[in-house]
Amino acid sequence: MSFLRKAGFTLTSALRATVMLLAVVTGVCILAMVLITCIDVVMRIFSRPIVGVYDLVYVFGAVAMACAIPYTTAVKGHVAIEYFFQKLDKKSRIIVDTFVRLLGIGLFSMLTHESARIGNNLKASGEVTATLQLPIFWVSWVIALCCALVVLVIFYNMTHPGKELVKP
C-alpha cells in the first residue's frame, strides 16, 4: 500500500514538474515575441525590418499557447458554470463530475492522437512557414504532447476531487 502511494506521489510530482516546465516555455516564448517585434519595429524606422518576423511570431505564439494548456488545466483555469452543479447532493456530484471528466479525457485523447497524426502528415508533406521556411510539423507534435498531459491532469483532477495539481 505504502509502495503504491509512493509511486502515485512520484508520478504526481513528475507530472507537476513537466507542467511547470512547459509553463516556463510559454513565458520564454511570450517574452521572445515581445522582444522580436520591438526590435523589428525599431529596425523598420531605419528601413531595415527583419525578414520573417511574421513567421517567428507565428511559431513562438503557437508554442506559447500550446504549452500553456496543461498549466491552465492544472490550475483549473477553464471557465465552467458551477451554479447547478453546486445544488446537487454529494453522490450525484461525484457521478456527474466523473462523467464530465471522462468526456474531457475522451476529447483530449482524440486531440492528442489527431494532432500527432497531423504532425506526421506535415512532416511527410514537408510543410514550412511562408517566408523563413521553418518546418512546422513539430508544432503539431508539441500540441499533441500538451494534449496528452491534459489527459493526465484531468485524470488527477478526477481522482483528487477539490484539489488542484498546481496552486494558481
Partner 1 sequence: GSPDGDKVIKLSYSVFFPPTHIQCQTAEAWAQAINEQSNGRVEITVYPGGSLTKAPQVYEGVINGISDIGMSCYAYTRGRFPLLEAVDLPVGYPDGMTATNVANAIVQKYQPEEIADVHTLYVHAHGPGILASKTPVKTLADLTGLKVRATGLSSKIVQSLGGAPVGMSQPETYEALQKGVVDATLCPIETLKGWKQGEVIDYITNSQVIGYTTSMFVVMNKEKWETLPKDIKKLFTSVSAEFIEKHGQAWDDADAEGKAFVEELGKTIIPLPEEEAARWKQAVQPLLDEYVQTTTEKGLPGDKVLADIQTLLAGGEI
Partner 2 sequence: MTPIQVGILGVVVLLLLLAASMPVAFAMGIIGFLGFSIIVSPQAAMSMIATDLFDTISSYSLTVIPLFVLMGQVALHAGISRKLFDAAYHWVGFLPGGMAIATVGACTGFGAICGSGPATAATMASVALPEMKRFRYSMQLATGAVAAGGGLGMLIPPSVVFICYAIMTEQSIGQLFLAGILPGILIAVIFSLTIWLQCKIDPRMGPVAPKTSLKSKLKSLLGVFETVLLFLLVMGGMFAGFFTPTEAAAIGAGGSLVVAAFRRKLTWRMLAQSLRETARTSCMVLIIVAGAVMFGHFLAVTRIPFELANWLATLPLPGWVIISFIILFFLLAGCFVDALALIMLTIPIFYPVVTGLGFDAIWFGVIIVVVTQMGVISPPVGVNVYVVSGIERDVPLQTVFKGSLPFLLALVIAAAILVAFPIISLWLPNLAR
The span from the CA of 134 to the CA of 58, in Å, is: 11
From the list 6, 138, 145, the residue with the least C-alpha distance to 67 is 145
Helical ranges in the chain per DSSP H:
2-45, 53-74, 83-86, 90-125, 137-159
Closest distance of CB 44 from partner 1, Å: 7
The partner in contact with residue 157, picked from partner 2, partner 1, none with C-beta cut-offs of 5 to 8 angstroms by kind, is none
Does 51 help bind partner 1 (rule: CB under 8 A)? yes
43 touching partner 2, by CB under 8 A: no
133 contact choice in partner 2, partner 1, none (CB below 5 to 8 Å, kind-dependent): partner 1
Site membership for partner 2, residue 153 (CB under 8 A): no
Size of interface with partner 2, in residues (CB under 8 A): 58
C-alpha cell at 70: 496543461
Q: Which does 1 bind (CB under 5 to 8 A by kind): partner 1, partner 2, none?
A: none
- Can you read off the three cell numbers belonging to residue 25? 516555455
Non-local CB neighbours of 50 within 8 Å, separated by 6+ positions: 36, 39, 40, 43
What DSSP assignment string belongs to 116-144? HHHHHHHHHHT-B-TTT--B-HHHHHHHH
* Residues at the contact surface with partner 2, assessed by CB under 8 A: 23, 26-27, 30-31, 33-35, 37-38, 40-41, 44-45, 54, 57-59, 61-62, 64-69, 71-72, 75, 77-85, 96-97, 99-100, 103-104, 106-107, 110-111, 113-115, 117-118, 139-140, 143, 147, 168
* Residues at the contact surface with partner 1, assessed by CB under 8 A: 44, 47-49, 51-55, 118, 121, 125-131, 133, 135
